[in-house]
Amino acid sequence: MTERMTELLETKTPIRGRLIRPTDAGYEDARQVWNGAIDRRPVLIVRCREGADAEWALRHARQNGLPVAIRGGGHNVAGSAVCDGGVVIDFTEMRGVEVDPSRQVARVQPGALWGDCDQATQPHGLTIPGGIVTHTGVAGLTLGGGIGWAMRKHGLTSDSLLSVDMVLADGSRVRASHDSESDLFWAVQGGGGNFGVATGFEFRLRPVGPEILAGPILHRADRAAEVLRFYRDFIAGAPDELAVFVNLRLAPAFDWVPAELRGAPVVMLIPCYVGHVETGERVLRPLRRFGPPAADVVKRKLWTAHQGMFDASVPHGWGYYWKSHFLPPLTDACIDVLAEWAFQPASPASYTLLFHMGGEVERQHDALSAFSGRGAAHAININGAWTAGGPSHPDIEWVRAQWEALVPHSTGGLYVNFLGNEDEALVRAAYGSKYSRLAEIKARYDPQNVFRANQNIAPAGLASL
Ligand SMILES: Cc1cc2nc3c(=O)[nH]c(=O)nc-3n(C[C@H](O)[C@H](O)[C@H](O)COP(=O)(O)OP(=O)(O)OC[C@H]3O[C@@H](n4cnc5c(N)ncnc54)[C@H](O)[C@@H]3O)c2cc1C
């Protein structure tokens, strides 16, 4: 820590939040993120209570020449919410969600998690189409685009964004929307945390639930290729209300998994129907009959229950390593690769997850936002997960090998929010054709690349920082 920084911290700071330094009780906890493979030591964590605290933290980091990281939910697999030797602008304690049901609008603080949003919106039968795990942060997910169960009906999370309050690199505050700072607004819908500190989000709410039809259908893995071919053909005609994700893994020992299947390699087809439940029963009939499956756990349930379904499979503190692709509709050759590779991990916690895109995501005009990948049929996320935490595990090699085997079947793009600490070529591939406009906007709003603890976009004209 610089002398000046120490001096500053010893005088009383004008913020409502809390400063957490390496010598403070709670520092070890405060520097942990979801991914237990990440081990970084910031010199200061500023636990914000209001937007002005973030302004203060940013100003003082800049005055002291320290790197800056921003923490929303702390879930990014790359661990970009923390940095070594820098200042973390930490929103862990700003989790408020205010709902205006008559206008169907919600205001969300930057530390809110998806579970917080659903708790506040579901009593009104509304939701923000977000992610599929309740303990993931709204901020990082939205700024990268946001894909989830309701996207085929209601679009990406960022498509529901109405405005974002931001503190910019020069310390000024703006509200970006379609009508004001529109370039910035375009950029933060897919360009991540490259452009400033988001201190508040306003979302359009969408009607979903409270009751939906959803749940896993399990097939034994020796039928994987046949099941995936049926799946491919079935979803080709799926209505927007239906998303069917696929999880290829060893069946976990959860209550809903029949005892005889626990620990067995399985293909889980996971439909989620967000329209009328009775219509959903009809739509899902062929999918549930095929096989027949080894188990069918599809049922009427609360949207909040379905949103929490994966929570226990990806707890905080395990070690994780991910790689991903966007895929076109599955070909037989791609299915053969999946059937060959997906069941080979050493850790029973590792898995391969296929998101089902299309519908409203694809229909929205590609130029609407910085998100790249609207035309993909699937995002695939190959997830190495090991319960002991720490940086290394043999499944890292398995993730890389399966990812390599899928390269010929990829669109060439990938979802920015599933990137780990990758080389620049993959970061560029994630921003795709939007990269050069993003770099120009970056040069306008953050010419010195203050916000670089992210999947970084170098300001146009600046080779690298
Ligand atoms: C278990 C799990 C499930 C997931 N499921 C989904 C899913 O269903 N759909 C999906 O789309 N993604 C999903 N993701 C990926 C997720 O979108 C990213 O990990 C995302 O970065 C998480 O946001 P966060 O706020 O929790 O992240 P953090 O780690 O806190 O932040 C990640 C980055 O976002 C930026 N950022 C965060 N907050 C701010 C802010 N207030 N202002 C400016 N920049 C900010 C920063 O650059 C930061 O480095 C999942 C991730 C995990 C770990």
Whether the CB-CB separation of 418 and 324 falls below 8 Å is answered with: yes
CA–CA dist 22, 281 (Å, integer): 55
**DSSP states of 222-271 as a string?**
GGHHHHHHHHHHHHTT--TTEEEEEEEEEPP--TTS-GGGTTSEEEEEEE
List, in sequence order, every beta strand (DSSP E) within 68-157. 68-71, 87-90, 97-100, 105-108, 126-127
Using the atom order of ligand 1, give the atom closest to the CA of residue 415.
11
Half-sphere exposure of 65 (CA within 13 A, CB side): 4
Whole-number pLDDT of residue 161: 98
Using the atom order of ligand 1, give the atom closest to the CA of residue 166.
42
Assess whether the C-beta atom of 51 lies below 6 angstroms from ligand 1: no
Q: Virtual CA dihedral for 154, 159, 165, 168, nearest 10 degrees?
A: 150
Whole-number pLDDT of residue 461: 84
Assess whether the C-beta atom of 91 lies below 6 angstroms from ligand 1: yes
Assess whether the C-beta atom of 314 lies below 6 angstroms from ligand 1: yes
One digit per residue, the tens of pLDDT, for the chain of length 465 reads 555 554 455 456 779 999 999 999 999 999 999 999 999 999 999 999 999 999 999 999 999 999 999 999 999 999 999 999 999 999 999 999 999 999 999 999 999 999 999 999 999 999 999 999 999 999 999 999 999 999 999 999 999 999 999 999 999 999 999 999 999 999 999 999 999 999 999 999 999 999 999 999 999 999 999 999 999 999 999 999 999 999 999 999 999 999 999 999 999 999 999 999 999 999 999 999 999 999 999 999 999 999 999 999 999 999 999 999 999 999 999 999 999 999 999 999 999 999 999 999 999 999 999 999 999 999 999 999 999 999 999 999 999 999 999 999 999 999 999 999 988 999 999 999 999 999 999 999 999 999 999 999 999 987 554
Whole-number pLDDT of residue 5: 52
* Helix locations, 138-203, DSSP H: 138-144, 151-154, 182-188
Whole-number pLDDT of residue 463: 56
Between the CA of 75 and the centroid of ligand 1 the distance, in Å, is 5
Between the CA of 71 and the centroid of ligand 1 the distance, in Å, is 9
Between the CA of 222 and the centroid of ligand 1 the distance, in Å, is 35
Half-sphere exposure of 158 (CA within 13 A, CB side): 30
Assess whether the C-beta atom of 349 lies below 6 angstroms from ligand 1: no
Whole-number pLDDT of residue 14: 79
Assess whether the C-beta atom of 140 lies below 6 angstroms from ligand 1: yes
Q: Among 47, 58, 118, 141, which is best to mutate for testing ligand 1, by the most ligand atoms less than 8 A from CB?
A: 141
Whether the CB-CB separation of 236 and 329 falls below 8 Å is answered with: yes
Dihedrals φ, ψ of 394, to 5°?
Answer: -55, -25
Nearest CA to ligand 1 atom 7: 131
Whole-number pLDDT of residue 465: 46
Nearest CA to ligand 1 atom 17: 141
Whole-number pLDDT of residue 9: 54
